[in-house]
Amino acid sequence: MTRPGGRSARVRDAVHDAVIELLAAGEIDAAVPKIAERAGVNPTSVYRRWGSRDNLLLDAAVTRLRSTSPIPDTGALRGDLLGWAEGVERAMRDPRGQILLRALVATLGPAEKPLEYLQARGEDLQAALDRAAARGEEVPSVDEVLDFVLAPLYLRVLFRRPVEPGTGARLVERLLTALPAGPAPNAGRGG
């Protein structure tokens, strides 16, 4: 297990910044050696840690999302989802967040299964839903949260449509309104 600080974290941050800067400069196909040069590290360090440029993009995107849109624990599902959706919305209004999302989507092949980076983000969301279910709240599945909240935000970015302030909140309210009236079997276990 790596320490959260120290040299490893500095290298990770430098490499993430470098890949985002290159993408923002229009260098969509920047290879690992160029990313490493920009970050001031040896390409072997990048290959050793991430294995490929695609894995690096995934890690940079998920790390950024975890920092810009953490899933809060407000004590209520509505508050948790609103806080999270507002963070995702802010990230999708940020040009760097938009660039990272577009690059991430471009790297995923049609037959690929979700990688550990994306699975970790889904596990974060599932943990929030499990907390709400444990409090006795009616909860959607992870798939429903993705369908109602995340997909519309991401699609706006992918189709270069504006993400207006308040969009995340409106999507969360639409999701919560769509939930069935009674307790759902296996609440919070979907996805």
Rounded to whole angstroms, the Cα distance separating 4 from 131 reads 26
Q: Are 60 and 20 in contact (CB under 8 A)?
A: yes
Q: Are 150 and 91 in contact (CB under 8 A)?
A: no
75 and 149 co-located in one domain: yes
Burial of 103 (C-beta count, 10 Å sphere; 0-12/13-18/19+): buried
Q: Which whole number is the average pLDDT over 24-31?
A: 86
Residue 94, domain member (yes or no):
yes
98 and 174 co-located in one domain: yes
104 and 131 co-located in one domain: yes
Helices vs strands, H then E, count in the chain:
10, 0
Q: Are 80 and 126 in contact (CB under 8 A)?
A: no
Q: Per-residue pLDDT tens for 153-176?
A: 999 999 999 999 999 999 999 999
Give the dihedral sign, CA 167/173/175/177.
negative
Q: How many domains is the chain built from?
A: 2
110 and 40 co-located in one domain: no
162 and 108 co-located in one domain: yes
Residue 144, domain member (yes or no):
yes
Domain hosting residue 12, numbered range: 6-51
Residue 104, domain member (yes or no):
yes
Q: Per-residue pLDDT tens for 79-99?
A: 999 999 999 999 999 988 898
- Cα-Cα end-to-end distance for the chain: 28
User: Average pLDDT of the chain?
Assistant: 86
47 and 86 co-located in one domain: no
Which one-letter amino acid corresponds to residue 31? A
Structure letter (DSSP) for residue 160 = T
Q: Per-residue pLDDT tens for 103-154?
A: 878 777 666 555 665 677 788 899 999 999 999 999 999 999 999 999 999 9
